[in-house]
Amino acid sequence: MAEFAAVSRRTLAGRRRSLVTPEGVDLHLSLAEVGQRIGAFFLDLVIMLGALLALFLLCLLAFAAIGSMLGAEIAGIVFLLGFLVLRCFYFIALEMGPRAATFGKRALGIRVVARNGERLSADRVIARNLMREIEFYLPVTFLLYNSSEGAGDALTGLAGLAWTGLFLFFPLFNKDRLRVGDLLAGTWVVNAPRRQLGREIASGPAAAARHGFTDEQLDVYGIYELQTLEKVLREDQAEAIATVAATIRGKIDAPDDGYDRDFLIAYYDAARARMERGLLFGKRREDKYDRPGAL
């Protein structure tokens, strides 16, 4: 049992990576396992096939309603367009979203990040997903076409399988578990566990929206200061709350509406939500961001 635990710790340590963001935050991330990535990909394929099936049924109903060759042509065009849009933009659109993950990745708790610590840009997402055409769609399409047409021979089929297998199992042969697309785009796929920070004292999105904090205002303080603010709110001392509210208002140039605690709760909630979205939880550099007493 002890040996198994030691192996598990070594495996986990082997998947740990340190990533320094431009804001000076040292993030300690855990790379997704190959099994997680393959499982997420096949979940996404199932979702895509389900969407295509639903589109196909809608096209059949449309054809039945119109009942002519023109209706058949329109239904066929709609289905082909839907197929192309889903194939080309499903992964790109979802990974460019705030969660940087497809539905399959979300289900397995993983997401895409840039290896240099910057925001995941559109060009990185597009590059890593366009490579999937070469890695997966092209050889699979080739094999299916040959099979349906009865063309080619056993050697051709084996070559197609070898091509697909090479790209499919490429993550097994590098320490960062990178696809070829990840290698070219400069991305990692990492575990993204749900993180909570004092959610029970949060006021919800409505209060934050009412104050209308900008990203610049929310970025003034870091995780240390946010934890200090949480402590102040928990202790609920009127003098401390008034002092902290005045300090934050002065720092972010916010008007004084006379409701100090409501203002602090709204700011805390908005800043916490922004940090969670950006994965800004980790060890801060001592010389830049570890600033006791900043509040």
The region of weakest confidence among 57-61, 122-126, 220-224, 236-240 is: 220-224
Highest mean pLDDT among 15-19, 121-125, 176-180, 190-194: 121-125
Task: Give the integer Cα–Cα distance in Å for 51 and 269.
Answer: 36
* Residues 177/189, Cβ–Cβ less than 8 Å: yes
pTM for this prediction: 0.60
Task: Give the integer Cα–Cα distance in Å for 211 and 158.
Answer: 62
What is the largest distance, in Å, between two alpha-carbon atoms of the chain? 82
Task: Give the integer Cα–Cα distance in Å for 43 and 61.
Answer: 27
Task: Give the integer Cα–Cα distance in Å for 191 and 110.
Answer: 4
Residue 15 phi, psi (nearest 5): -100, -5
The region of weakest confidence among 1-10, 19-28, 107-116, 153-162 is: 1-10
Top-confidence residue, 235 or 247? 247
Residue 105 phi, psi (nearest 5): -65, -40
Task: Give the integer Cα–Cα distance in Å for 265 and 286.
Answer: 27
CA distance to 2, 40, 149, per residue, from 104 (Å): 34, 4, 33
Task: Give the integer Cα–Cα distance in Å for 19 and 21.
Answer: 6
pLDDT surpasses 80 at 281: no
Written as six digits, the tokens of 128 are: 């890593």
> What integer best gives the mean pLDDT of the chain?
75
What does the pLDDT look like over 155-168, one tens digit per residue? 766 776 777 777 77
Written as six digits, the tokens of 290 are: 């570890």
Task: Give the integer Cα–Cα distance in Å for 285 and 293.
Answer: 16
What does the pLDDT look like over 168-205, one tens digit per residue? 778 778 888 888 899 999 998 988 755 444 444 555 44
